[in-house]
Amino acid sequence: MPSFDIVSKVDAQALDNAVNVTTKEITNRFDFKNAHVVIELNKKEFRINLEADDNMKMRQIVDVLISRAHKQGIAPEAFDLSKEAYQSGKATKKEVPVRNGLKQEDAKKIVKLIKDSGLKVQAQIMDDMVRVTGKKIDDLQSVIQLCRNSDTGLPLQYENMRN
């Protein structure tokens, strides 16, 4: 039976490259001359720690980070920007977690979306991915289109297509 997996992964090397390019661009910009800027990537926790002088510079750093990450092939939805920046002494700090892997509730949303579509496929949650199986490859391709067109707010990849 044909099957494929729905996953949400971020390549660690691409994320590292995006952070390095962002750091290089910010340090070379004229409006950041003599400004306090720190951009650190915690590779184990998939978390980016940002520091800047004020909120305006923080928003500019986040914009540059997202655009550079997008050029590296990382979807903007991979960054959890829900936490607000906070003041710590003279600097403004912000933690940006990077979503890596499907959480249980996100996987349940995807399975519900697939089941509500009425397509003749089975979807099951396996750790941090959703496996979709069906009798026809056309049905599986319809599921991929359905997931791409729906607004899940997650960077989804479709891999391991088997016939």
Q: What is the value of pTM for the model shown?
A: 0.84
Distance CA 124, CA 5 (A): 10
Going by the DSSP 8-state scheme, the letter that residue 90 receives in this structure is T
Question: Whose CA is closest to 105, among 70, 66, 154, 69?
Answer: 154
pLDDT for res 163 = 82
Domains of the chain, start order: 3-8+101-162 (3.30.70.860), 12-97 (3.30.70.990)
DSSP states of 102-155 as a string? --HHHHHHHHHHHHHHT-SEEEEEETTEEEEEES-HHHHHHHHHHHHHS--SS-
Phi-psi category of residue 34: left, alpha or beta, with phi > 0 → left and psi -120 to 50 → alpha: left
pLDDT for res 41 = 94
Residue pair 58/50 in contact (Cβ under 8 Å)? The answer is: yes
Distance CA 99, CA 9 (A): 8
In this model, does residue 135 exceed pLDDT 90?
A: yes
pLDDT for res 73 = 92
CB-neighbour burial class of residue 26 (10 A; exposed 0-12, middle 13-18, buried 19+) = buried
Question: Whose CA is closest to 83, among 117, 115, 58?
Answer: 58
1: confidence class by pLDDT, cuts 50, 70, 90: confident
Mean pLDDT, the chain, whole residue set: 92
In this model, does residue 59 exceed pLDDT 90?
A: yes
Mean pLDDT across 9-33: 93
7 forms beta bridges with 157
Mean pLDDT across 73-101: 91
